[in-house]
Structure 1
């Protein structure tokens, strides 16, 4: 009963957001999923100039689809996105190079609107996987709302919390701090790709997600 009521309210909320869209061609972002048990997700990572969504900027975006099939999970790297952005205010060179980018890469990067026109069709209404995904979404919604008229409504899956839930399910006495990404990669023997790269982080997060979903 509770789930039916929640699904009804979720559907009504999506319809209200769809009605407030300033770009009707993106209405599919707010379609109510036909199944409440997803079989496709998007692993997303952003590289930013800092951690404050109100004053810092997105430098790059990495996204890769994850699909559940009858014999397991597939990480679809063939259709992955790796996008460099040009912020409205040019960051310092030191801020840029830590992310493996050159100032010329950022200067020639996509505007935020151009980036969204490539990213949003991949996201659709799929759940978004991330590590500390709330922070990434705060940055993404900061540019998505002016572009669309509303914030995105995708469900979020934070792998650190998913790990914590798994640990508690296996041993209810375990309650601890949320682990660091590198700690989880080591625990599940997931190879580390070069750091400070949005697509690499999205792929590693996707690999971690598939392990957690099967544990």
Structure 2
């Protein structure tokens, strides 16, 4: 994933403006936002946003009381394989919020904090597609991939070590519970616990 300083140099880069100008400011706090999206199919260029969840992590604390958990009011035709994963049928989405409202809530929740996730490049692509359509910019935040931290730590001393890089594989090795797998909030909580295990606890030892 290209860092923001490099993105700013690419042709066609559009910085956040107006209400969202602060997203491009350097972040000097100590929180990370862990985020996950569920979509109508598994194609990041076509998948429509069905739900999104996010929590802020500060040190070893997941701030669940402030969590964001949104279902989108969407009539998107959903790939049957995706439904079998996240169980979000059309009737389940009727009481959700408009996608434009969801995107604004996500941007307000994230601010200019780093964004963390498992296969976060997919979530980044989905959100950026909507943000560009609605507000003509893309997320300038720093992105953190949990599996990349895991690989760096595991292969630090044994480079050829074979690793199970599935969500379930990381959870098992890190002894993290899998909570309501393939719900946005469940995956966010499990991913946040992975991140804490890989960062906060190591810093204390």
SS in structure 1 of the partner of residue 108 of structure 2: helix
1:158 aligns with 2:150: no
Alignment counterpart, residue 205 of structure 1, candidates 184, 191, 198:
191
Is residue 145–residue 151 contact of structure 1 (8 Å, CA) maintained in 2?
A: yes
Write out aligned runs for 1:54-203 (5 A): 54-68=45-59, 73-87=60-74, 89-91=76-78, 95-96=82-83, 98-169=85-156, 171-176=157-162, 179-203=165-189
1:106 and 1:12, CA in 2 relative to 1: closer, same or farther beyond 3 A? closer
Segments of structure 1 that go 5 or more residues without pairing to the other structure are 1-6
Cα RMSD of the aligned pairs, angstroms, is: 2.8
1:90 and 1:111, CA in 2 relative to 1: closer, same or farther beyond 3 A? farther
Report the counterpart of residue 10 of structure 1 in structure 2.
Answer: 5
The one-character-per-residue Cα deviations of 1:105-150 (angstroms, maximum 9, x if unpaired) are 2133222211012111111111111001111111110101112211
Please state how far the C-alpha of 1:59 moved relative to its aligned partner.
1.0
Is residue 190–residue 204 contact of structure 1 (8 Å, CA) maintained in 2?
A: yes
SS in structure 1 of the partner of residue 133 of structure 2: helix
Distance 2:113 2:161 in 1: 30
Distance 2:54 2:138 in 1: 18
Report the counterpart of residue 48 of structure 1 in structure 2.
Answer: 39
Q: Max radius of gyration: which structure? A: 1
Which moves more between the two structures, 173-182 or 54-63?
173-182
Q: Tell me how many residue pairs correspond in the alignment.
A: 198
Distance 1:43 1:172 in 2: 29
SS in structure 1 of the partner of residue 63 of structure 2: strand
TM-score (ref. length: structure 1): 0.81
Is residue 17–residue 150 contact of structure 1 (8 Å, CA) maintained in 2?
A: no
